[in-house]
Amino acid sequence: MAQPAPVLTQCAVHAMIRKRARFSAPGERRNGMKKFECPCGYVYDPQVGDPEGGIAPGTAFEDIPEDWVCPICGLGKDAFTEV
Ligand SMILES: [Zn+2]
């Protein structure tokens, strides 16, 4: 039990670094600026945001708080699909 597992540790650190790099990579931001559509027909456009819902223009869909709901029908983010 006291024996270290160097390979496993290295892998875990590696995975952590790779995960971080993915989040901070500038190129990935484009993926976050996609439009998402609600079943009711409302489309969330990151460039427009949802000022009435407290979402500033330029906010990626992923960055919207989890408690945000569709301004039209009140469904949560889970109901939205990528356009
Ligand atoms: Zn809706």
Q: Which residues surround ligand 1, an ion (CB under 5 A)?
A: 38, 40, 42, 70, 72-73, 75
Cα(34) to centroid of ligand 1, in Å? 17
The reported pTM is: 0.62
State residue 25's pLDDT score: 46
State residue 27's pLDDT score: 46
Cα(47) to centroid of ligand 1, in Å? 18
How confident is the model over 1-28, as pLDDT tens digits? 666 666 655 666 566 656 555 554 444 4
- In the numeric block, the tokens 């460039």 are attached to 47
Rounded to whole angstroms, what are the CA distances from 48 to 18, 56, 58, 63, 83? 31, 8, 7, 14, 15
